[in-house]
Amino acid sequence: MRFVAAVLATGSLFATALPAHAETGVSSSEIKLGITLPLTGAASPGYNKIGDAMNAYFKYVNDNGGVYGRKITLIQKNDEYSPQLSIAKTNELILKDKVFALVGPLGTANFTAVHKSVGLARRGVPSLFLNTGFSGFANKKAYPTSFAILPSYAMEAKIAAQFLKDNMAGKKLGLVYQNDEFGIDALGAFKAAGVKFDVTIPYTSGTQSAATAQTWVSQLAAGGAQVVVFFGVTSATAPLLAVAAGAKYAPQWILGSVGSDPLTLRALGVPVAVLNGALTLSGNPSPNDTNDEYVKFFQEINTKYNKAAFDDYVLQGMNLGLMTVQALRAAGQNLTRKGLIRAMENKGSTFASVGYSPLGYSKTSNVGHTGYYMAVMDATGDRKPYGGSVVVYTTDSGSGPVVKSTFKRPALPAKGLPTNS
Amino acid sequence: MELWRKARDVVRKKIFFFILLGWVLLIIGDRVDELRVYQGAQIAMYSIALASIVLLTGYSGQVSLGNGAMMAVGGYSAALTLNNLQTPIWFAFLMAILVSALFGSLLGAAAARLSGPYLAGTTLALAVGLPAIANQFTFLGGEPGLLFDIGFPPESFGEEFTQYKWFFWIASFIALISLFITSNILQSRFGRTWRAIRGNSLAAELAGVHSSRMKVLAFTISSALAGLAGAVLAMTISLVAPGAFTLALSFALVTGAVLAGISSLPGVVLGGLILVVIPEIADAVANRFGDADKLNNYLPGLIVSVLLILSVIYTPNGPGENLRKHLRKKATH
């Protein structure tokens, strides 16, 4: 009996010695964050650079005192773009590594599965800046702890539709789209906007090849399409443009944001010259635009901490890092998961980000960037704003109108180190 | 009469063994943390899938690389049943078994005419092609897939009873029952006939075995098991999507089956364990070296491939089989 009493007494001593409420993944000197993304496998090219880029920015922040004295540790886990692995790895992040929050998880099917199976909302785990444009994640009730970053595919298609009506009226239109969430969201938006295509070619993800591109090109050419809109992934853009160039078929290409990364296109063997004059929807400045203060700064960070070929993915990764640090700062010195979510809701829309369009975060919305501008690519694969200056259009994923944005992007914090609170 | 009593005793012992195993699992499930419980559910799922390979390849001698596709059939059947008919969960699992069995019997009818590399090639094509079909039909949900939500555990289990423990219970229960039934089938006349066909199909036919009919039967039962495993997989990830049933899954299953001993049913649990543990080991190894992230990405694949190659070179029947033979030899000496 005396023994039991002694044990109880020591136990209670220890209990009182512990801090009142320590948040998972946060100590006095460290904040642990996690990301799942395809680092190897078919879907990895490009995306596999996002984690390292984010980490490079975190290293820079850590070298400059961290976030309220806490250093950020980012744990990257490879999910090979498979939902099972995504869940297994997220489980490791949350149950074993005990991360504070997820940042930049990648892939629509993956995040859907992770959110449900791991129970992110139930566990109250903040999931910031989902790297997917699926409009379904904009449901704040279903995804109360998640926040998107990319404008949705539906927004993209609505803005493309507006562009077609304004600039390509009277021309014969063609559409090639991936027959899944990219394309279906897009198709609906084009229909709603009243844009009719003379040639429509759906394709199934995974079937893209030089041989199938041959049939697309002959269909498009036979239908006399003068403007061809493409909504799909880069591995399909590559054969399409290459085959068309070989066949001397040169319509005005309009490429969706997902399938128009010049570096990846080039790596896939598309002659750079075919990109010349192709239009693309874009939310960020060109990664080569050193006149842009964000790009210039991130390039410096890349040279010092990352040493990867600087492209859209690296730019995106570093920008996610910048936004994450602002979110962590906004949540205050007494960092909690609930506090982080509140900070995103209350202050998220004011964060500095490289994207040209406004951020849609609020108490009722977890939507990130909300717009696009049209850019034109040159013979080196670089892109410049269409018409000489950036004209951003914003809209929502529903039936809202497409409007020209008057939003002024916040300036980059001095030395790229946020001081917000 | 004597034989009958012996058989009944064997079955009784087996029932007792499985109940004991279930009881041990229950206790383990209570003692370990959430991550381990989730991994336990995965091991149970892999065990069912591996049992389907043991039955098909180890016993009836038909090589199939398409088990991932069969799992997809089961997973999608279960999800469509649950989502569209709002049935109880057990009915969704039952539909997974029935639909994939039907699918397997059709495939088996074609497969019975093929053998060796031709059969492997055909089933490989199925593993590549079938999951992509989901993209063609909107009712299959395309790339993002369909949700498969079995709901929260019953409230009477209490607050502490986690979702993963619920998955673990269901998966283990299904695995125990299906392994029990499979082990009985394998020890029955069917199991013996399959082994006879695998050994020498001509000799088996001369002895009066209808070999193609028996092969179709093996395909049907194996597909039913794979489909059930697919439904259990869908439960643990709350989703069916083409990305869940990749070629990599089919290959991982074959590797697991070979490592565990392709013709040993108890080995499937070991195989499931190996498939779940390898990434963990890779993690631990990678953490000992500097750039853990980079190394960790390639290590699991490397370990699986090396194990498979070593196993095929040194222990063609799988290390599990060799170990058992070794033990048996010891026992007789």
CA A221/CA A233 separation, integer angstroms:
22
pLDDT tens digits, one per residue of B5-22: 887 888 888 888 888 888
Residue A232's domain is classified under what CATH number? 3.40.50.2300
Strand-by-strand arrangement of the A146-148 sheet: A71-78, A30-37, A101-103, A127-130, A146-148
Residues of B with CB under 8 A from a CB of A: 33-35, 38, 42, 132, 135-136, 138, 142-145, 147, 149, 163, 233, 236-239, 241-244, 246, 248-249, 279, 283, 293, 296-298, 301
Length of chain B: 333
- Mean pLDDT of the B223-244 span: 91
User: How would you classify the pairing of strands A392-394 and A403-404?
Assistant: antiparallel
Asked whether the beta carbons of residue A95 and residue B34 sit closer than 8 angstroms, the reply is: yes
CA A335/CA A68 separation, integer angstroms:
10
CA-CA-CA-CA torsion sign (A63, A66, A70, A71) = negative
Tokens of A87: 């869940």
CA B182/CA B186 separation, integer angstroms:
6
Asked if residue A144 and residue A195 are part of one domain, the reply reads no
B142 min Cα distance to partner chain A (Å)? 5
Question: Is residue A86 one of the residues assigned to a domain?
Answer: yes
A232 min Cα distance to partner chain B (Å)? 13
Amino acid at A121: A
Higher pLDDT, residue A228 or B238: A228
Asked whether the beta carbons of residue A181 and residue B279 sit closer than 8 angstroms, the reply is: no
Under the banding of pLDDT at 50, 70 and 90, the label for residue A20 is very low
Residue ranges per domain, chain B?
A: 44-245, 247-333
Question: Is residue A339 one of the residues assigned to a domain?
Answer: yes
- Mean pLDDT of the B80-100 span: 92
Domain of residue A38: give its range. Answer: 30-151+289-369
pLDDT > 70? residue B220: yes
Question: Is residue A348 one of the residues assigned to a domain?
Answer: yes
Contacts of A184 in chain B (CB under 8 A): 138, 142
pLDDT > 60? residue A16: no
Asked if residue A267 and residue A119 are part of one domain, the reply reads no
Per-residue model confidence (pLDDT) at position A73: 94
- Mean pLDDT of the A292-314 span: 92
CA A213/CA A220 separation, integer angstroms:
10
Asked if residue A247 and residue A185 are part of one domain, the reply reads yes
- Three-state SS letters, chain B: CHHHHHHHHHHHHHHHHHHHHHHHHHHHHHHCCHHHHHHHHHHHHHHHHHHHHHHHHHHCCCCCCCHHHHHHHHHHHHHHHHHHHCCCHHHHHHHHHHHHHHHHHHHHHHHCCCCHHHHHHHHHHHHHHHHHHCCCCHHHCCCCCEECCCCCCCHHHCCCCCHHHHHHHHHHHHHHHHHHHHHHHHHCHHHHHHHHHHHCHHHHHHCCCCHHHHHHHHHHHHHHHHHHHHHHHHHHHCEECHHHCCHHHHHHHHHHHHHHCCCCCCHHHHHHHHHHHHHHHHHHHHHHCCCHHHHHHHHHHHHHHHHHHHHHHHCCCCHHHHHHHHHHHHHHC
CA A151/CA A137 separation, integer angstroms:
11
How many CB pairs below 8 A link A and B? 96
Residue B121 backbone phi and psi in degrees, to 5: -65, -45
Residue A122 backbone phi and psi in degrees, to 5: -65, -40
Residue A225 backbone phi and psi in degrees, to 5: -65, 125
Its pTM stands at 0.82
Tokens of A198: 């003379």
Asked if residue A171 and residue A84 are part of one domain, the reply reads no
Per-residue model confidence (pLDDT) at position A332: 92
Contacts of B38 in chain A (CB under 8 A): 88, 91, 95
CA-CA-CA-CA torsion sign (B43, B317, B72, A106) = positive
Contact A177, A298 (CB under 8 A): no
> Which of A323, A344, A369 represents a domain boundary (last residue)?
A369
pLDDT > 90? residue A346: yes
Question: Is residue A15 one of the residues assigned to a domain?
Answer: no
- Is the Cβ of A112 closer than 8 Å to some Cβ of chain B? yes
DSSP H/E element including A128: strand A127-130
Tokens of A41: 């496998």
Asked if residue A340 and residue A303 are part of one domain, the reply reads yes
Nearest to B142 among A40, A84, A181 (CB): A181
pLDDT > 70? residue A238: yes
Q: How far is the CA of A1 from the CAs of A6, A31, A326, in angstroms? A: 9, 43, 54
pLDDT tens digits, one per residue of A403-421: 999 999 999 999 999 999 8
pLDDT > 80? residue B196: yes
CA B187/CA B42 separation, integer angstroms:
26
Asked if residue A388 and residue A242 are part of one domain, the reply reads yes
> Which of A322, A343, A369 represents a domain boundary (last residue)?
A369
- Mean pLDDT of the B288-308 span: 70
B97 min Cα distance to partner chain A (Å)? 21
Question: Is residue A305 one of the residues assigned to a domain?
Answer: yes
Tokens of A127: 């999931």
Tokens of B45: 């799922």
Per-residue model confidence (pLDDT) at position B333: 62
DSSP letter string, A231-299? ES-HHHHHHHHHHHHHTT---EEEE-GGG--HHHHHHTT--GGGGTT-EEEESS--TT-TTSHHHHHHH
DSSP letter string, A314-348? HHHHHHHHHHHHHHHHHT-SS--HHHHHHHHHHHG
CA-CA-CA-CA torsion sign (A357, A360, A361, A367) = negative
Asked if residue A387 and residue A274 are part of one domain, the reply reads yes
- Is the Cβ of A96 closer than 8 Å to some Cβ of chain B? yes
Per-residue model confidence (pLDDT) at position A14: 44
B64 min Cα distance to partner chain A (Å)? 22
CA A255/CA A67 separation, integer angstroms:
39
Domains identified in chain A, total number: 2
Asked if residue A396 and residue A250 are part of one domain, the reply reads yes
Question: Is residue A60 one of the residues assigned to a domain?
Answer: yes
Asked if residue A226 and residue A316 are part of one domain, the reply reads no
Tell me which chain B residue has its CA closest to the CA of residue A108.
Answer: B144
Asked if residue A260 and residue A350 are part of one domain, the reply reads no
Asked if residue A318 and residue A248 are part of one domain, the reply reads no
CA B159/CA B273 separation, integer angstroms:
29
Contact A159, A372 (CB under 8 A): yes
In chain A, pLDDT over 90 holds for what percent of residues? 52
- Mean pLDDT of the A30-46 span: 85
Asked if residue A203 and residue A139 are part of one domain, the reply reads no
Contacts of A205 in chain B (CB under 8 A): 132, 135, 143
pLDDT tens digits, one per residue of B32-76: 888 889 899 999 999 999 999 999 888 888 888 888 899 999 999
In chain B, pLDDT over 70 holds for what percent of residues? 93
pLDDT > 50? residue B210: yes
- Is the Cβ of A212 closer than 8 Å to some Cβ of chain B? no
**Placement of tokens 């502490």 in the chain:** B160
Length of chain A: 421
pLDDT > 70? residue A370: yes
pLDDT > 50? residue B159: yes
Asked whether the beta carbons of residue A109 and residue B145 sit closer than 8 angstroms, the reply is: yes
